[in-house]
Amino acid sequence: MKMRLAEIAKALKITAGENWEDIIITSVSFDTRSLQPGALFIPLVGIHDGHDYLNRAIEGKAAATLWQSDHQAPENNFPILSVTDTLAAFQQLAKYYLAKINPQVVAVTGSNGKTTTKDMVAAILETSFNVQKTHANFNNQIGVPMTILGMEPNTEILVVEMGMDHFGELDHLSRLVEPDVAVITMIGEAHIEFFGSRDKIADAKMEIVHGLKEDGVLVYNGDEPLLRERTKKLLQDTRTFGESGNNDFQALNIVSDEKRTSFRVACWPEDNVTVPMIGSYNVNNALAALAVGDYFHLPIKKMISALTTFQATANRTEWLIGKKQERILSDVYNSNPTAAHLVLRAFSQVPTRGKRFIVLGDMLELGTAAAKLHAGLAADIDPKQIAEVFLCGSHMAALQQALADKFTPERLHLYASNQKTQLLADLNDLIEPTDLVLLKGSHGIHLEEVLTALC
């Protein structure tokens, strides 16, 4: 981005000081650790108050700052734009910049698979368009405007990931970006603590269409009855994907091994599609991306080629090599019951000359259903396939109990979340070069610490 401070002030419906109007802003930042020279510093008020870090922003050569009017103005004559709420102004500026660049927008949400789907969609669209996509998982009320304001002026399509854990969040984000295409990957149990049921989660996910353009399209998992029912009243067009025959994009002949998954699409039976990821559950993510690419009239050959080589965001079912040359399936960024079941099934089928070890961390934000949903993972942990089970976190005690009649105590280990050092030591004592290790847990458990030590 490149805007004069006067233009930013006009977008926010305020005025800039006469001496500051011609200051050039080349980026925005709410974090002084990553702030670039020429940035507009946006101090957000949360656990920490960003206003307290203005001097660091100045040291990083910020050009100006937003300033919340209920805070005492700085005395150093640094250029400020006074606003009532810095977060609201941040979002308002993003909406202005989005309208200025005017790309088409693809918005992606879902209980599972939204980051991978976002990456797949972007890879397909990049074959024919200038595309900007959400970095990592910048998918909330701060991350979405950050993604927008990071667009290059020549961006033709913006692919933006949207997360939520409360009602109203997707409504707000959807109205902010006004998508041309909205995608719902699936309805699972993620954040069920805040919603109480999958029905309510489906209601919240459908908020993504609240800002959908009148001539836009919703792409969704047609195998999910909760979504089928809720789309009946939708005025915009829809496209569905899944494994059943009543979908617009149906997967056939799914074959998965330790490195890739292949399938065919019923409407393109002559073409074989391959994605470089383990697990048949990634087929639906690819189908959603293909449906988006088809909406933009891209040739199937181009889309297939893009999926074959696309790069997924780190720590999404990523194969790594450990210090002992063991192979590690890293999926440590997030976890929920649906995702955990799927990856456990896939991992259990990966061929190996050694043993399979699984390290599972707590799945968070499950509320009163936590014990039941953790214990339910036992259905996909077979002692004939899994040598030993390492569990980390208080919620995993329920899974330990559920596995007690399958595994001897020597093969079933439980650790508190602050005992990862001991977990690592015990696991390291057992690993051989021919073994496989799965790491899966919610980010709040920080199994990435175990992953880093193993690698």
Annotated binding site for ATP: 110-116
Q: How far is CA 449 from the centre of its chain?
A: 20
Say how far apart CA 62 and CA 193 lie, in whole Å.
Answer: 40
Annotated binding site: 110-116
Phi, psi dihedral angles at 319 (to 5 degrees): -85, 130
Pairing label, strands 436-440, 327-331? parallel
Say how far apart CA 390 and CA 207 lie, in whole Å.
Answer: 38
Q: How far is CA 153 from the centre of its chain?
A: 25
Task: Please tell me whether residue 179 adopts helix, strand or coil conformation.
Answer: coil
Pairing label, strands 237-242, 217-221? parallel
Identity at 246, one-letter amino acid code = N
Burial bucket for residue 246 (CB in 10 Å: 0-12, 13-18, 19+)? exposed
| Residue keyed to tokens 């709410």 | 30
Helix pair 86-101, 169-177: axis angle to 10 deg: 40
Helix ranges (DSSP H) in 60-133: 86-101, 114-125
Beta bridge partners of 27: 39
Residue whose C-alpha is closest to residue 365's, from 164, 183, 170, 168:
164
**Computed over its alpha carbons, how large is the radius of gyration of the chain?**
24
Q: Which whole-number Å values give the CA distances from 34 to 31, 194, 248, 277, 333, in the listed order?
A: 6, 32, 43, 31, 21
Residue whose C-alpha is closest to residue 86's, from 96, 101, 71, 72:
71
